[in-house]
Structure 1
């Protein structure tokens, strides 16, 4: 509920007409990014455009899952940590014990977790209780029975008796963790769920598997799949459109983050600071839209910039 409240507050504000990025002298060196697969493509787009401005900057991008970001930042093997979920208390504690202060967390985009089926699947939508009953072994969200076949979700004809084949992100993924929290009420996944190393492979598997259902970042939608409307309860389905995600009405909306190691009352290293300023500029936020995500609103962008400049 806290995340949804934040989404509703910030996303109700007008979207910024972001300022253009202005080149600064002396920017060179290497940026190492370790973290979210969901942000993997966007990190690559940001890096390519930033290198056009600063040819002497190099990037190493490892999109191995959000859970790899905090450790890499804490241990100094990365200076950028993309994450598709909030930091866990244990991750903050580990960082704080090592450095004596907390990591700095910046909101850089808005996204949603989408439920994908193949184009031939006629299911109208699913509510969160049904989703939990399909994916979990625990049904902590209150579903009366397991849902293992498509006819249990209201389909008939050729779908009668057709098993729901499930695809999921792996456990190091922020998408996995957030889906577990919001759609499974922190329950356990079925052991028959097919875990995939990335969102793109989830979507591809759904597109080519009869009777498949999978979840991934909305930005990974392709022509071979359909993103299902989702209801918090009953049949009040909300389609995962840009407008519904931006308003917070879509139940599985989320912020996307970049975490950095910034000492209190000390400026960030020039290279890291300028890369983050670029991400929050009009050029950087245009790339957010181009990759299928939603730019952050004006007031929220101003808050992130102030955190960078402190």
Structure 2
């Protein structure tokens, strides 16, 4: 029995090495639901204009994609992962521990997080503090932190509508969720004495915030079904569905490409994809695809991706990001700190 097990283990190891060494034409991409529409557009163009097949892209969320990406450097692991936030130092360390030791970061532009509702409603503009008080698990009442008692928006602020608080949003694996927690929850709570200057990011789990999964299109559909509800998702989905949903001003600033690109809109974030350079030799399509994605034709100020919601970076920033990909510049842990 031991000899059989030993022989099986050796055979599996040999097959694994062969699998890694075999060239593969089709790219495997995972990651952010926010970056997914942009990556899909590039993938379709790549499949139509090159000799390589259209890449396979799976929308797993930023955190889920990075977990898969960092799981190893074998043929059964993704070549690229999309992210609507930057890789965390802890994720980089997990990559290194699992043998993913050569990564290039590709910065593609900006996006804003929209807080939107059905266009059948009157616009409801909010502040980040109002969003925090509506969605935090614990909020200050009479100087004490208590379980969130607010059930209607008018409970949070009398100027807001007398509507039930119901917000469809992304799960914990999503980069959109990470960015919302950082740019809204953490930023607001650090200014509140009750939290002692520490950022508080716990979102209530009593039904007011509804985990709607990684597919932002489903959130848009649910807003059509539930007119009282709001949704949290990337700006590109707001732009694509402007006939049926309307975004809120946040802290008095409208979510527009200009305001997002300038950073004036307070809930803006950067978008990336990460390239597993150890696959470059065995997956020749990888850098052909990456260079197309980073081209002026795609992410430039007049690029195709602008038409579907990407907010282009300034030209000098684009040039620097493009050079990093073309030069296969290795990401360092110190870059993320």
Structure 1: runs of 5 or more not aligned: 1-27, 232-236
Question: How much has 1:138 moved relative to structure 2?
Answer: 2.7
Name the counterpart of 1:279.
293
Question: How much has 1:261 moved relative to structure 2?
Answer: 1.9
- Contact 1:203 1:225 (8 Å CA) reproduced: yes
Name the counterpart of 1:214.
231
Question: How much has 1:270 moved relative to structure 2?
Answer: 4.2
Structure 2: runs of 5 or more not aligned: 1-23, 187-199, 328-337
| Greater fraction helix | 2
Indicate how the Cα distance of structure 1 residues 267 and 143 shifts in structure 2: closer, same or farther if over 3 A, else same.
farther
Q: What TM-score, normalized by structure 1, do the two folds share?
A: 0.80
Root-mean-square deviation (Å) = 2.6
Name the counterpart of 2:99.
99
> Who wins on radius of gyration, i.e. which is larger?
2
* Aligned-partner Cα distance in 1 for 2:64–2:100: 20
Question: How much has 1:298 moved relative to structure 2?
Answer: 1.3
Question: How much has 1:64 moved relative to structure 2?
Answer: 1.3
- Contact 1:92 1:103 (8 Å CA) reproduced: no
Please state if 1:58 is matched with 2:61. no
* Aligned-partner Cα distance in 2 for 1:143–1:258: 42
Counterpart among 323, 326, 330 of residue 306 in structure 1: 323
Question: How much has 1:178 moved relative to structure 2?
Answer: 1.1
- Contact 1:111 1:255 (8 Å CA) reproduced: yes
Name the counterpart of 1:260.
275
* Aligned-partner Cα distance in 2 for 1:173–1:83: 9
* Aligned-partner Cα distance in 2 for 1:224–1:150: 22
Name the counterpart of 2:196.
none
Q: Which aligned pairs between 1:82-93 and structure 2 lie closer than 5 A?
A: 82-93=82-93
* Aligned-partner Cα distance in 2 for 1:202–1:84: 17
Q: Which has the larger displacement, 94-103 or 250-259?
A: 94-103
